[in-house]
């Protein structure tokens, strides 16, 4: 994390744009007050989501795990990690399986409140990727 120190929000923005495609508003808001803390948090995140991946899990698997956690925690906007999982090679069926595991462990409300949003986002992202592949 040491080489990111002093870079503050510039580092946060560059990483966010490269990984997510956007800088989340909540990163910007916290960064107004604690830019170095945000840079340190992003450095920690970056160490877990390395490209190429380090550790036992692929980026696809890590994004599926993140999606499951968001669904299980009833996060209404559970779309970001579902989309990222698709970009890393997951399918909408994989997201449906994750959502169903959450139903088994947390009840149907996990799907109604959060899982359905993740699955819709996965379908949209998958269709977008398929169109892009056809265009090439």
**Per-residue pLDDT tens for 5-35?**
457 899 999 999 998 889 999 999 999 999 9
> Are residues 95 and 35 part of one domain?
no
> Are residues 86 and 108 part of one domain?
yes
Token pair belonging to 94: 């994989």
Q: Which domain holds residue 20?
A: 2-48
The pLDDT, as a whole number, for residue 1 is: 44
Does any domain span residue 53?
Answer: no
Residue-wise pLDDT tens digits, 61-86: 999 999 999 999 999 899 999 999 99
> Are residues 70 and 124 part of one domain?
yes
Q: Which residues contact 97 (CB under 8 A, 6 or more apart)?
A: none
The pLDDT, as a whole number, for residue 110 is: 97
């Amino acid at each position: 994390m040491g080489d990111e120190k002093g870079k503050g929000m510039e580092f946060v923005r560059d990483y966010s744009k490269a990984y997510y495609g956007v800088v989340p508003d909540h990163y910007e808001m916290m960064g107004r007050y604690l830019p170095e803390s945000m840079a340190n948090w992003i450095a920690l995140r970056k160490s877990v989501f390395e490209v190429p991946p380090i550790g036992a899990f692929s980026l696809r698997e890590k994004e599926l795990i993140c999606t499951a956690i968001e669904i299980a925690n009833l996060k209404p906007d559970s779309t970001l990690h579902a989309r990222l999982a698709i970009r890393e090679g997951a399918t909408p069926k994989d997201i449906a399986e994750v959502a169903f595991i959450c139903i088994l462990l947390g009840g149907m409300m996990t799907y109604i409140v959060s899982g359905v949003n993740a699955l819709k986002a996965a379908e949209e992202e998958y269709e977008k990727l398929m169109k892009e592949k056809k265009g090439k």
